[in-house]
Chains A and B, each alone.
Chain A
Amino acid sequence: MLIDAKQAFTQLSEDTLITRVKSGDQNAYAALYELHVKRVYGLCLRLLADREHAEDATQEVFVQLWHKIASFEGQSQFSTWLHSVTSNIAISYLRKHKNWLQKVVSFEQSGMDEQSAADCQGLNGLDKLVLRLPERARMVFVLHAIEGYRHEEIASMLGMAVGSSKSQFHRARQLLKEWYENE
């Protein structure tokens, strides 16, 4: 029955779904989730470089989105707005889930190990290298090179200087080049 309802809702336009979700319709929300979950998860996985964390963060995005969607006024495309919400939640997720040691000494988490990255399904060659980057370099690279954010925006999102964002991007490129050429 639920599946039928979801199928019926997927025929509706995104605008109609959003209107229904704003009025508290969970079936419409399930359909909206189906439309966007892969893109949200893709961004979370690239930013967090951990499958389980990406799954958790994706769930957090959709739980928070349910409460935030009333504030979406349609001034930008919904996908653009959701993208921004997702980036911010993934960054905040990473901060919240650092262990006490990483918080105290600003330890930078290393990326995914080579084998785990290679085992990730649905990723191209560059993605598999990106997941191995250290945390800050990876986030800057994903946000700038793949998602198209400007360094000024990234600096604001990640709480770093614009110059740091640029140097992390350079560091990411150097590492990617080294790994690619040694493959």
Chain B
Amino acid sequence: MNKPDFETFLAESINNTDSEITPQKDLWPGIEKALTHAPVSQSKTILWPKLAGVAACSVAALLSVQLIFSGAEPATSVAMSDYFTQQKQTLLVQYQNQPALTDNWQQQLAELEDAERAIKQALENEPENPALLKMLAQVYQQQLDLINKVHAPKWQQI
């Protein structure tokens, strides 16, 4: 049987769309809890150190981007990835037995890794986009700075 043309499919699907979809889990307990317990607004106090850290790291990242892109050879995302992955692994091994200064640094690192994945995904469509390459370099540098910052004693004073 031939499938209907797109316009027919679209019109029929919109007419027959059920606006109701059942969530896969019971959402009421969470709502009830939120209604009966006063919200504890801690997110702002948690956010500020993170933003300050990102801002501080950005300065270092911008410096590193200047270094990367001032070279005569164009930096490709693959070459950059290889270089930073190696640097990151070296740092992680170096600090593996050293306690971190914050508890949530791995979560922050995961967020930066999410950003790294998003940029790499965009680079798949535009492999030589200079703005994306710069951003990738920044994110890599921020990962290195974060790992250093939470492990190196000199940062405790800042």
Contacts and interface: CB of A to CB of B under 8 A. Distances in A.
B111 A54 contact: no
A123 B21 contact: yes
Contact of B23 (A41, A66, A123): A41
Interface residues of A, number: 41
Interface stretch (A12-20, A151-159, A162-170, A173-181): A173-181
B4 to A, nearest CB: 10
Given A45-B21, A99-B114, A100-B54, A124 B13 contact: yes
Interface string B115-128: 10011011000000
Nearest to A100: B54
Chain B interface residue bracket vs A: 35 or more
Contacts, number: 95
Contacts of B48: none
Interface stretch (B26-34, B68-76, B89-97, B147-155): B26-34
Interface of B: 3, 6, 9-10, 13-14, 16-25, 27-28, 30-32, 34-36, 54, 111, 114-115, 118-119, 121-122, 131, 135, 139
A58 B30 CA distance: 10
A37 B47 CA distance: 31
